[in-house]
A = this chain, B = another copy of it.
Amino acid sequence: MAFSEFRPLDENSLIEYIKATPSLSSRISDTYDGLKVKEVGDGNLNFVYIVLAPSGSFVIKQALPYVRCIGDSWPMTKDRAYFEATALKEHGALCPQHVPQVYHFDRTMSLIGMRYLEPPHIILRKGLVAGIEYPFLAEHMSDYMAKTLFYTSLLFRSTTEHKRAVAEFCGNVEMCRLTEQVVFSDPYKVSEYNRWTSPYLDRDAEALREDNILKLEVAELKSKFCERAQALIHGDLHTSSVMVTQDSTQVIDSEFAFYGPMGYDIGAFIGNLILAFFAQDGHAAGQGIDRKIYKEWLLKTIEETWNLFHQKFTALWDENKNGSGEAYLPAIYNNPELQKSVQEKYMKELFHDTLGFGAAKMIRRIVGVAHVEDFESIKEASIRADCERRALELAKTLLKKRRDFVCVSDVVSAVKQVP
């Protein structure tokens, strides 16, 4: 190891670090002629370096002890890198097709060396803003979510394995607290960090803070987020945590991972697809482009994501129903009719959790601290506000009435019917 205590790297010290680290230097055959290092971290939190050599490549991600986009006035544990690396490795073992390989982790340096997702990989959100269809997106994401969530739940694990893992990820508490604040709290109160497309949405933001029924439902979701250790969730599975090409889908940035409710991951992904949907009219406006077909593709992708997830998740359950999972012992639940009822009940609750959490994630992106490029890229504020208001109205309905939705086509209908 190059350094015995934490220090932030730069392009130069990074090369020294690589030279002293066999698990990295071997990836580029220990040759430094023609090596290129580029800092590309455009996220809110970390420094990210692409390391390219003639004989190989990788990415280095280093967590600093504060939020990068705000600076050292907002401190945040750099230990998040440990949980990110642990979750990447665990999810990667369960679903290697959709999680980049981790080559190296250095806890002292809060540094992860991992696969470089080469061009034409781009951040999914940028693709959605550009109107690019990804034919395998629903297939891949449903695969990722079904595997990572099923195999880390009590449907597959023993209580002993589960409690050990839950205890370990309790250590990622600072990231959980950040989510609690920015997703479940700030949007429903006056907060210095909140912003929205003003003055257009002033009244809408105020209405959220006065909506008692909404706040009651948000409290229930927050309590589930804080208390229910259902599976090892990614914890931040929006469309900027996914990199894509036409045939590859890779999930990154799992520093928020912990044992929480499965619906939080599925909801984050679907909620962000719905945001992308409502942004399309803004992208189309005045640019002489028609996003009608693209909007249809987005709705189809939303529908397929849930339906394929449901199918794959229950298939895994069926395959493993006589396995080591301790939630439903075969000696008790081994008759087909009961097994079916059990799954229906489980999936119904998960569906409603998904809608609730998805809606909460949508709301916070419109009136909270962190916004999304889907809307931010709509330059004309009044048009942007119209798009955002429609997304907000749908999110409020989803959150408050989620138990009335029976299947995902009901959700798609509701999306289409927003005036």
Please name all residues of chain B whose beta carbon is closer than 8 Å to the beta carbon of A342 when the two chains form the complex: 216, 219
Q: How far apart sit A94 and B378, CA to CA, in the bound complex (Å)?
A: 55
The 8 A CB mask of A365-402 against B (1 = contact, 0 = none) is: 00000000000000000000000000000000000000
Please name all residues of chain B whose beta carbon is closer than 8 Å to the beta carbon of A337 when the two chains form the complex: 212
In this complex, the member of A154, A163, A177 whose beta carbon has the largest number of chain B beta carbons within 10 angstroms is A163
Q: Which of A123-131, A288-296, A321-329 contacts B (4 or more CB under 8 A)?
A: A321-329
Given contacts A154-B223, A220-B345, A342-B216, contact A173 B164 (CB under 8 A): yes
Q: Please tell me if the beta carbons of B154 and A163 are within 8 angstroms of each other in the complex.
A: no
Closest to A226 in B: B154
Q: Please tell me if the beta carbons of A185 and B341 are within 8 angstroms of each other in the complex.
A: no
Q: Please tell me if the beta carbons of B189 and A331 are within 8 angstroms of each other in the complex.
A: yes
In the assembled complex, the CB of A136 is this many whole angstroms from the nearest CB of chain B, namely: 32
Please name all residues of chain B whose beta carbon is closer than 8 Å to the beta carbon of A177 when the two chains form the complex: 159-160, 326
Q: How far apart sit A159 and B171, CA to CA, in the bound complex (Å)?
A: 11
Please name all residues of chain B whose beta carbon is closer than 8 Å to the beta carbon of A170 when the two chains form the complex: 163-164, 166-167, 170
Q: Please tell me if the beta carbons of A188 and B227 are within 8 angstroms of each other in the complex.
A: no
Is A91 interfacial (CB-CB < 8 Å)? no
Closest to A187 in B: B332
Q: How far apart sit A248 and B57, CA to CA, in the bound complex (Å)?
A: 71
Task: Please tell me which one of the listed residues B216, B226, B326 contacts residue A159 in the complex, with CB atoms under 8 A apart.
Answer: B226
Q: Please tell me if the beta carbons of A163 and B190 are within 8 angstroms of each other in the complex.
A: no
Binding site for B on A (CB under 8 A): 154, 159-160, 162-164, 166-168, 170-171, 173-174, 176-177, 180, 185, 188-190, 209, 212, 215-216, 219-220, 222-223, 226-230, 326-329, 331-333, 335, 337-338, 341-342, 345
Taking A170-B170, A189-B332 as given, write out 4 further A-B residue pairs in contact, using a Cβ cutoff of 8 Å, ordered by the A residue number. Answer: A167-B171, A212-B341, A222-B327, A226-B327
